[in-house]
Copies of this chain bind each other. A is one copy, B any other.
Amino acid sequence: MTKNITVAYGDGIGPEIMDSTLEILREAKADLNFNIIEVGKNIYEKGFNSGLMPSAWEDLNNTRILLKSPITTPQGGGYKSLNVTMRKKLGLFANVRPVSSFHPFVTTKHPKMDVVIVRENEEDLYAGIEYRQSEETYECLKIVTRSGCEKIVRYAFEYAVANNRKKVSCFSKDNIMKMTDGIFHKVFDEISKEYPQIQNDHYIIDIGTARLAAKPEIFDVIVTMNLYGDIISDVVAETSGSVGLAGSANIGTDYAMFEAIHGSAPDIAGQDIANPTGLINAAVMMLVHLGQNEVASNIRNALYKTIEDGIHTGDIYNSTTSKKRVGTKEFTAAVISNLGQKPSQLAVASYSSANKKTEIKAEKTGAIATKKTLIGFDLFLDWNEEFSDLLAKLKEMESDILEVKMISAKGLLLWPLSDQHMMPTYKKGLTVLRFIGKGITGKSSNEIIDANKTISQQDIIDMLGILDKKKFDFVKYEGLYLFDGKPGYTSGQGE
């Protein structure tokens, strides 16, 4: 049965490269119906803050497959990135970006590059939850869940199995963010044990990105968190020779979206010079996803043959291997005329023989249910007097139940100090008081001496009431919990 897919033309160069891609799909006899929806800039400006109209969502709910051109999020005005919103609304938890170099036909310093970035797509700082807390201070929340980590890490290993890949590398910054990046790394270590046939290793994101930029050939599949994945997928795309070449899949349990990885490039829009290769590669990934493997192979082979023939758009044109500089339309015509042919030096695609779809496994509850107990809270004060004035008020902040165990600012311990030499320069503004139930912790706030004691929410509320009466200006609090008796919070630096 002919498959209906939803098609979004997007902004900037979007319409041109989509025309090119759909024409190739038609000529290659892909068994598809195209339902065109409107997305992007115009829709934002009509007042749809998400960049998509209800009718478009409805079409998507029917087809479950979206082929999408890049869009422009208007600057300012509180518009949310449609890409981010769509990925989240559709539960597209995995962003998959295979990038390989077209050496020697496209200039690259990395002829052996052949990596796949599997990026977590729903969590991390990209939830965009931000608060201005004072004159001076802004906060963004980085949110990571264990089940989010499990889903993406498992997908990366399943992808490696399905695509005959040898190794999965994990990138995180868990030496600094021991809890959020820590759980990502921990889950990776757990799940990698279930795939003994696949090698695995871990890199701290800074050195990992550096290695990837210098020697991409040492990597195979990389799984990482949202922000890091955003950065490293652009690094591999750019160092492959051009960001115009790679496509990507956004995979969820129910939906999938396919797009080029580049932006809408409004500066070159409408000039018939954009390179449609990224979107064509995305369409090939879509065909494989739909099981139309023969058409997928046919299109990819024609595309690679065209590039091999030196028929190049301006972004990849070079004096050594290019034969003809062409526009979008002429490039499209060349690909169509090459349908049925194969590249002779670049890798030949044959998706029919390697036909395995990556499985999306049901989530396991990797963690055994833990016991959560409330033992205190961090109060974020907007303090604009001297630090000594705050210390002088500490006595007023004690109840029968709670006491201040620590004061910090930007994570740095201010009080109590074992040595006054260690006092950082105090800057007025956001200052954090750590209240903990009396008798629960020892010398430092993460040394638990009585894990059976707890406090109640009402105890926090009572203390907030006391502080409010004394005219303290507080902007937020964070509850402090033990999980199975272990602290669910970091200690102050220097504590």
Contact = CB atoms under 8 A, between A and B. Distances in A.
Contact of A91 (B61, B137, B425, B490): B425
Interface in A113-156: 122-123, 125-147
A442 interface: no
Interface in A167-212: 173, 175-180, 182-183, 205-207, 209-211
A176 B142 contact: no
A411 interface: yes
Contacts of A141: 139-142
B419 A91 contact: no
Interface string A385-422: 00000000000000000000000001110000011011
Contacts of A144: 137-140
A207 B183 contact: no
Interface residues of A, number: 114
A312 B114 CA distance: 31
A179 B78 CA distance: 11
Contacts of A129: 411, 432, 490
Contact of A176 (B128, B210, B446): B128
Interface in A202-261: 205-207, 209-211, 213-214, 227, 230-231, 233-235, 237-239, 243
Contact of A209 (B80, B143, B231, B410): B231
A63 interface: no
Contact of A230 (B54, B206, B456, B468): B206
Contacts of A143: 137-139, 410-411, 430
Contact of A138 (B128, B179, B206, B460): B179
A483 B61 CA distance: 40
A contacts with B: majority SS: mixed
A424 B88 contact: yes
A458 B142 CA distance: 29
Given A84-B176, A210-B237, A61 B421 contact: yes
Given A61-B421, A138-B180, A422-B57, A476 B477 contact: yes
Contacts of A58: 421
A294 interface: no
Interface stretch (A34-42, A316-324, A365-373): A365-373
B145 A88 contact: no
Contact of A123 (B122, B410, B456): B410
Contacts of A457: 464, 468, 473-474
Contact of A490 (B130, B205, B427): B130
Interface in A410-453: 410-412, 418-419, 421-422, 424-425, 427, 429-430, 432, 444, 446
20 contacts: A50-B422, A54-B419, A57-B421, A61-B421, A91-B424, A127-B412, A128-B177, A131-B378, A133-B481, A133-B488, A138-B179, A138-B180, A139-B478, A140-B141, A140-B177, A140-B180, A141-B141, A142-B142, A145-B429, A205-B231
